[in-house]
Chain A
Amino acid sequence: AQSVTQPDIHITVSEGASLELRCNYSYGATPYLFWYVQSPGQGLQLLLKYFSGDTLVQGIKGFEAEFKRSQSSFNLRKPSVHWSDAAEYFCAVGAKEYGNKLVFGAGTILRVKS
Chain B
Amino acid sequence: DVKVTQSSRYLVKRTGEKVFLECVQDMDHENMFWYRQDPGLGLRLIYFSYDVKMKEKGDIPEGYSVSREKKERFSLILESASTNQTSMYLCASSSIGNEKLFFGSGTQLSVL
Chain A residues near B (Cβ < 8 Å)? 4, 6, 9, 32, 34, 36, 41-46, 49, 51, 90, 92, 94, 99-107
Contacts and interface: CB of A to CB of B under 8 A. Distances in A.
Given A41-B105, A43-B104, A43-B106, A106 B99 contact: no
**Size range of the interface on B?**
20 to 34
Given A36-B103, A43-B4, A100-B33, 16 more contacts: A4-B42, A36-B101, A43-B105, A43-B106, A44-B43, A46-B100, A46-B101, A90-B42, A92-B43, A99-B50, A100-B99, A100-B101, A104-B44, A106-B40, A106-B41, A107-B42
Contacts of A100: 31, 33, 48, 50, 94, 98-99, 101
Interface string B15-56: 000000000000000010101000011111100101000000
A100 B48 CA distance: 10
A32 B97 CA distance: 12
B58 interface: yes
B40 A9 contact: yes
**Which among B31, B43, B50 has the greatest number of chain A C-beta atoms within 10 A?**
B43
B52 to A, nearest CB: 16
Interface string B68-112: 000000000000000000000010101000111101111000000
